[in-house]
């Protein structure tokens, strides 16, 4: 029997990041909790959409790459899906994050730290949705920069490398060159990113997140950039230059085209599936609009 594919959905979260993953055996995982939509609904909630349209009543895991507003804006709906597990950069303390937080945003961050305290690590192996034996064969590797100055918490973003069906996707948080340099000194990180196929661009495709040394270790077929249409995605052309290109299908028709970059600001929600076809050969299927 051919196993089910791994599905990765990059929501159009305007200025933020929000990713949904359904594993081959039906586990549900959210990475980052941005909000918004390409259609103009700035308050669109990916979590409530999962509940109402995908009929997901419980998340098996939530991962926050780092606690900036554009990555936790949907956190007030967190308990609507009663997640079983929660991961975040544990080294970032409340006093590191709450500096200069606007008064109207403090409730978001208070909820984040409440959740962080409620879900202490480690999770027992038998309950960990990120272990391949529990999720249908998907390998999740999480890397956390630790040595960078906490004055820029972008450089403490978790990096998630997801492998399935001989393919890899990397979700890069908002890391910038100082944290990339730190991670590239680790042999296990260099090994993990080898032959990455799909890259979710760090820091929303901005120049500040681009680090050329990364691309000495992998050349993605496709780079996904998550950002609003009026926001700074200044490194889009640079990511196009380091990506090989992949066939992208339009969901509402038979049109297809080869692309090196897709962006939520111009392409809307991006759905990627990794799996095996009837000949037991691996495939990557990318659909936009």
265 vs 18: which has the higher pLDDT: 18
Distances (CA, A) of 242 to 167, 233, 236: 18, 16, 10
**Over the chain, what is the mean pLDDT?**
94
**β-pair partners for 248:** 257, 286
Instruction: Point out which residues pair with 19 in neighbouring strands.
Output: 10, 31
Position with higher pLDDT, 230 vs 68: 68
- Under the banding of pLDDT at 50, 70 and 90, the label for residue 58 is very high
CA 167 to chain centre: 16
Domain boundaries, the chain: 6-288
Tens-place pLDDT, residues 206-226: 999 999 999 999 999 999 999
272, 198 Cβ separation under 8 angstroms:
yes
Residue range 119-133: mean pLDDT, rounded: 93
Supply 236's token pair.
């889009």
Q: Which of residues 147 and 41 earns the better pLDDT score?
A: 147
**Domain at 6-288, CATH from 3.20.20.70, 3.40.190.10, 3.60.15.10, 3.10.270.10:** 3.60.15.10
Percent of the chain with pLDDT over 70: 97
pLDDT tens per residue, range 4-57: 999 999 999 888 899 999 999 999 999 999 998 766 677 899 999 999 999 999
C-alpha 185/C-alpha 90 separation (Å) is 21
Tell me which residue of 130, 207, 147, 199 sits closest to 168, measured CA to CA. Answer: 199
């Amino acid at each position: 029997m051919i196993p089910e594919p791994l599905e990765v959905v990059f929501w159009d979260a305007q200025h933020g990041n929000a990713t949904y993953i359904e594993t081959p055996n039906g586990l549900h995982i959210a990475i980052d909790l941005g909000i918004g939509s390409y259609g103009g609904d700035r308050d669109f909630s990916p979590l409530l959409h999962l509940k109402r349209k995908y009929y997901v009543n419980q998340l098996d895991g939530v991962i926050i790459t780092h606690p900036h507003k554009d990555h936790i804006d949907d956190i007030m709906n967190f308990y609507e899906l009663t997640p079983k597990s929660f991961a975040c950069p544990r080294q970032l303390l409340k006093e590191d994050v709450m500096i200069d937080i606007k008064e109207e945003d403090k409730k978001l961050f208070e909820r984040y730290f409440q959740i962080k305290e409620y879900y202490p690590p480690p999770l027992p192996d038998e309950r960990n949705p990120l272990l391949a034996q529990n999720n249908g064969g998907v390998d999740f590797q999480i890397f956390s920069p630790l040595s960078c100055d906490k004055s820029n918490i972008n450089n403490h973003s978790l990096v998630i490398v997801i492998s399935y069906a001989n393919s890899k996707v990397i979700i890069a948080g908002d890391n910038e060159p100082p944290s990339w340099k730190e991670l590239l000194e680790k042999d296990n990180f260099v090994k993990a990113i080898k032959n990455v196929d799909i890259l979710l661009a760090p820091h929303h495709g901005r120049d500040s997140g681009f680090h050329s040394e990364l691309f000495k270790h992998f050349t993605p077929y496709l780079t996904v950039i998550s950002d609003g249409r009026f926001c700074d995605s200044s490194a889009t052309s640079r990511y196009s230059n380091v990506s090989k290109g992949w066939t992208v299908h339009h969901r509402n028709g038979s049109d297809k085209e080869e692309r090196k970059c897709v962006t939520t600001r111009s392409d809307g929600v991006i759905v990627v599936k990794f799996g095996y076809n009837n000949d037991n050969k691996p495939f990557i299927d990318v659909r936009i609009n």
